[in-house]
Structure 1
Amino acid sequence: MNELVSITVGKLLEQVANTYPDDQAVKYIDRPFDTTWREFNEKCDQIAKGFLRLGIKKGDHVAIWATNVPEWLLTFFACAKMGAVLVTVNTSYKVFELEYLLRQSDSKAMVMISGFKDANYVDIVNELCPTLKDCEPGNYVNPMLPFLKDIIFVGEETPAGMIPWNDLYTLAEEYPQEEYRAIFESIDPHDVVNMQYTSGTTGFPKGVMLTHYNIVNNGKAIGDCMKFSHDDKLCIPVPFFHCFGMVLAVMASLTHATAMVPIEYYRPTSVMQALQEEECTAVHGVPTMFIAMLEHPDFKTYKFPRLRTGIMAGSPCPVKVMQQVVEEMGMREITITYGQTEASPATTMTTTDDSIELRVTTVGRSMPFVETKIVDPDTGETLGPNQPGEFCSRGYNTMKGYYKMEEATRQVIDEDGWLHSGDLAMVDENGYYKITGRIKDMIIRGGENIYPKEIEEFLYTHPMVKDVQVIGVPSKQYGEEVMACIILREEAKLSEQDVKDFIRANMARHKVPKYVAFMDDFPMTASGKIQKFKLREMAVEMLHLEDAASIETA
């Protein structure tokens, strides 16, 4: 990557469509969606005009609550083309989390599917918006969600009060082309194009504001590390609603005109089928995904003739799994990326030219045009090679800030523009980084960031819970699992299952603790601070997790 580029996501898509009009852009293996870049660009133009005709304006926020369906991609690029901001919604959210996100993000519209796994999205939306079904589509009014006007439904039999997705194509015909092009041309690369909600390092989820400039350049740098070109084909089983799916996959593909083969949601057989049938050259995944494929009873029956590269990231990558993927899947050029949503997200990455040893034991070197350093968490002093400290980065990829949270933004981006990750890391003499732990207590379970405070706050609402601490404990499968340590009120009776059911009914599945321990007290410092690291040590011993705790990661 020789220089940073200043172009909007919409203009970049148009550029690729003009350069490679007849090359494959997006192909699904489980539905009739197979488009060239020209066709894909035209569909995105139609949806953009449909949004405008509906009354969505440049600068408005559009939430999307869906798995990796084609409409997700069309919504993202349509928003980028007409200047709206895409607000990504975790597919596992329940009513408690959805209400918070829609209210905090000031979303004017939401595109949604019928549901995913145990979550019925239609029921959840009707619980949150009880008068929606009695409203004319597009005329919804709710004082609790003052910005929300339109719910656009993807699927058969559109529920009452919602707008059918296909209506957007009809509406598009009514919107003047000249007006659309004027809006398209008015968008600035430094405008916000996406808001990703992350639990980050403190408190409730925050909307990370990412610009066209952030994600185009980060996508370009990521694709360069894998030597992507228009001859490549990337299988995408990671969710679009994360930066992993949206930037490391979709934007890295767009910047290199690489074909995309999305998987609606991860299933080992679907991914292996796509890799074989479509002869994909690359696939992304969190370690858990690769482990599930390698351990699948039918793994040996699949062949991956062209598979060479991809990214393993999202949570600490076990060295043994990296080596297996290289040897048994043929991914001799697999890479590791490290970063955070606030950094668009990649700050370091290995390349296909790095040795296998470096690619399985480190998270690579600084991305082009990104400064990185290790500092002493207490003094802020920059540390030398092989000294553990906090990882910090600075560059074009740093977010614009957290939406409507100026103080929280100041807490992570210092006055010199350095973004503080909260992660402990070391760098060697050659600039290769290793992540060694986390200063704060955020849990990363299979690539999902889980902030304990959010679960703790919710558990505090249970009438039998006196005190609670939520910690991450080691897991061979997911890197970490959630554990709730609870002190009950006097004479209260609560079972482990009661606690899990209480959370499961109100929060996303990945936040339900795998382990629940009832305690009389918590380990404290002399000044009365709870020692979470001691709780973790106790849990490792109590649950016999010593083997999982000793797994070596990059």
Structure 2
Amino acid sequence: MTVELRDLLPADLRRSWVVDGTCPDLDLYSLFRARQISDPHRTAVLDGKGKLCYTALDRKVRSLAGGLRDLGIGPGDVVGVQLPNDRNAVIADLALAALGAIALPFPVGRGSLEAECLLRRAEAVAVIAATEHRGTRHAADLFTLSTALPALRHVVAGGSGTAPAGTIPLARLMRSDRGGFIAARPHPDSAARILVSSGSEAEPKMVAYSHNALAGGRGNFLASLITDGTPPRCLFLVPLSTAFGSNGTAVTLARHGGTLVLLDHFTPESALAAIRDHKPTHVLGVPTMVRMMLDQLDEAGGELPAPTALVLGGAPLDGTTAGAASEAFGCPVVNLYGSADGVNCHTGLRHRTPPTDGHGVVAGRPDPRVADIRVTDPDDGEVLDHGRVGEIVARGPMSPLCYVGAPDLDARYRTPDGWVRTGDLGFLDEDGVLHVVGRLKDVVIRGGANISPAEVERELTSHPLIRDVVCVGVPDALMGERLAACVVIRGSDAPTLDELGEHLTTRGLEQRKRPEHLLVVERLPLTPAGKPDRAALRERLSAAASSPGTAGTDSLVSAG
């Protein structure tokens, strides 16, 4: 291993979670192998190619691991993975774990410039990428970049189509002899996976997680949402390559022996079809995806089999969406607050819809078996009393080791005793329930006054004509920035800016927080990670402002 990955948590604290049984103290492949032995014919993966049982999956994993070992890939090596949500992504995950290597997954659709940055900083020795996906040829693009990446020795091309010249076909590696393969047994507290965080930095943050942090800490999160101990059947609407998606292979399969239901690409139609056809127990997505599905349900109608839970994260969840989703899907809606940086808190299954009270987004009661949470003064780190707003910090079994190739981020976002500084503002109430009220840096500064887009979004979602909304700041020569509301409407009638302003006033917001631009869009654009694409919305606002009437289906209104 060339890139340094050191654990920023005290060693005795990390091992205490093994001693008390919070973490399993086994590497991910050993956990998966135990599941395969105990129930060899259980379906592990359901994707566009059909079903794959645990035994068939393990055969493919061992073959690929042997092929990668023949390429010289071994314990501690970082290997990038840019594959869509299908069985190949799962096979690659487990094969790297079996080698003791470290997976660095990132979503298809991410551009080559960002991929080059990730692979370079992580000192990846190889990358497994899609030959072609939705018109993009990731493997060929990455091979072109490989000359600028001295550590990168191999580009492996997977999926349909002919592997580009110079790359290694994934199919060939998966035909390797698995009979002689003996899995490595990496230390459970060593690095297993690098999660990519789409935060506020100029470049994406990379965060290293151990086997125990994934199967233990993150595994305990999902365990709390399994009602009867039956292995879960999880439909992932988000990419497995995201932080949210890391609850897939490592958690659903290795920790809980469940089934992954995978969509190669999210659309509301395909997601609803997967619920009808495969009857998942848990559906994991972001609120915008669910709003799109609700729109489609309004048009198509029809009954859906009720999952155990709809688990929504990645963006704030408002009460209107939660209530509509609970009624439509016939199950509790779980509001998940979390990030790749090492924070997790959720509202659980006790409520049909997450509680709301007007004091920020209710995130639930922190679970110390996943991550303990405190609220501290952003300036001096002092722990604040219940009810006082400060920075949310987290530390627990799911805490990552460190940031990858970025000691400056370790210094900025980790305390000397290992707590993660989230940059989020919130408070703990008298009952120990966490409320998230905004971001330290995510503000629109209008004429010197700060406006929290999250606060305005939260209140606008309760407007009867709005299905979905994202608020962003747009440059302004006079005020510095002005707030724009980008909305998806219900039906055919769009609200006016004045109507939105009046609605916000009735909800208790000051007049200075009223949006001054309104962009009506058919659907919100999503990033490759499945979150609302704020940068794309800013571009569309700029295009609509410079060329009114020619911005496609977008409609822009600005205050006079």
> For each residue in 1:511-547, what CA deviation from the matched residue of structure 2 results, as whole angstroms up to 9, or x when unmatched?
64323588xxxxxxxxxxxxxxxxxxxxxx9856xxx
Secondary structure of the corresponding residue to residue 79 of structure 2: strand
CA distance in 2, matches of 1:337, 1:21: 32
Secondary structure of the corresponding residue to residue 341 of structure 2: helix
Coordinate RMSD, CA, aligned: 3.1
Paired residue for 2:257? 257
**TM (normalized to structure 2)?**
0.74
Does residue 43 of structure 1 match 2:60? yes
Secondary structure of the corresponding residue to residue 363 of structure 2: coil
The 3 A distance-change label for structure 1 pair 96 and 392 is same
Q: Residue 234 of structure 1 contacts residue 253 of structure 1 at CA under 8 Å; is this kept in 2?
A: no
Secondary structure of the corresponding residue to residue 310 of structure 2: strand
1:38 to partner: Cα distance? 2.3
Paired residue for 1:78? 95
The 3 A distance-change label for structure 1 pair 260 and 119 is same
Paired residue for 1:523? none
Aligned residue type for 1:232 = P
The 3 A distance-change label for structure 1 pair 231 and 8 is closer
Does residue 159 of structure 1 match 2:160? no
1:167 to partner: Cα distance? 0.8
| Pairing 1:152-551 to 2, within 5 Å after superposition | 152-154=156-158, 155-173=160-178, 176-177=180-181, 180-181=182-183, 184-185=184-185, 187-227=186-226, 229-247=229-247, 251-296=251-296, 300-331=300-331, 333-343=332-342, 346-354=343-351, 356-358=353-355, 362-369=362-369, 370-441=371-442, 480=470, 485=475, 510=533, 512-515=535-538, 543=558
Does residue 97 of structure 1 match 2:87? no
CA distance in 1, matches of 2:200, 2:274: 36
1:128 to partner: Cα distance? 2.8
| Pairing 1:2-13 to 2, within 5 Å after superposition | 3-13=22-32
1:191 to partner: Cα distance? 1.1
Q: Residue 210 of structure 1 contacts residue 400 of structure 1 at CA under 8 Å; is this kept in 2?
A: yes
Q: Residue 338 of structure 2 contacts residue 344 of structure 2 at CA under 8 Å; is this kept in 1?
A: yes
1:283 to partner: Cα distance? 0.5
The 3 A distance-change label for structure 1 pair 146 and 127 is closer
Paired residue for 2:515? none
Q: Residue 221 of structure 1 contacts residue 368 of structure 1 at CA under 8 Å; is this kept in 2?
A: no
1:282 to partner: Cα distance? 1.7
The 3 A distance-change label for structure 1 pair 486 and 239 is farther
Paired residue for 1:20? 39
CA distance in 2, matches of 1:5, 1:95: 37
User: What are structure 2's unaligned runs of at least 5 residues?
Assistant: 1-19, 445-451, 462-466, 478-524, 543-555
The 3 A distance-change label for structure 1 pair 297 and 283 is closer
Paired residue for 1:464? none
1:225 to partner: Cα distance? 1.9
CA distance in 2, matches of 1:39, 1:70: 11
Percent of aligned pairs with the same amino acid: 21
1:299 to partner: Cα distance? 5.6
1:418 to partner: Cα distance? 1.5
Q: Residue 234 of structure 2 contacts residue 252 of structure 2 at CA under 8 Å; is this kept in 1?
A: no
Secondary structure of the corresponding residue to residue 536 of structure 2: coil
1:478 to partner: Cα distance? 6.5
Secondary structure of the corresponding residue to residue 270 of structure 2: helix
CA distance in 2, matches of 1:249, 1:151: 22
Q: Residue 197 of structure 2 contacts residue 339 of structure 2 at CA under 8 Å; is this kept in 1?
A: no
**TM (normalized to structure 1)?**
0.75
Secondary structure of the corresponding residue to residue 411 of structure 2: helix
Aligned residue type for 2:109 = S
Secondary structure of the corresponding residue to residue 58 of structure 2: helix
1:126 to partner: Cα distance? 5.3
Secondary structure of the corresponding residue to residue 59 of structure 1: coil
The 3 A distance-change label for structure 1 pair 60 and 291 is same
CA distance in 1, matches of 2:24, 2:356: 28
> For each residue in 1:138-181, what CA deviation from the matched residue of structure 2 results, as whole angstroms up to 9, or x when unmatched?
xxxx2x200111111112211111111111123345x833xx24
CA distance in 2, matches of 1:511, 1:112: 26
CA distance in 2, matches of 1:348, 1:298: 31
Q: Residue 307 of structure 1 contacts residue 329 of structure 1 at CA under 8 Å; is this kept in 2?
A: yes
CA distance in 2, matches of 1:2, 1:26: 28
Secondary structure of the corresponding residue to residue 166 of structure 2: coil
1:127 to partner: Cα distance? 4.7
Does residue 31 of structure 1 match 2:49? yes
User: What are structure 1's unaligned runs of at least 5 residues?
Assistant: 130-141, 444-470, 488-503, 519-540, 545-554
Deviates more, 1:249-258 or 1:280-289: 249-258
1:208 to partner: Cα distance? 0.6
The 3 A distance-change label for structure 1 pair 2 and 348 is farther
CA distance in 2, matches of 1:66, 1:169: 15
Secondary structure of the corresponding residue to residue 257 of structure 1: coil
Task: Give the total of aligned pairs.
Answer: 455
Paired residue for 1:128? 145
The 3 A distance-change label for structure 1 pair 442 and 416 is farther
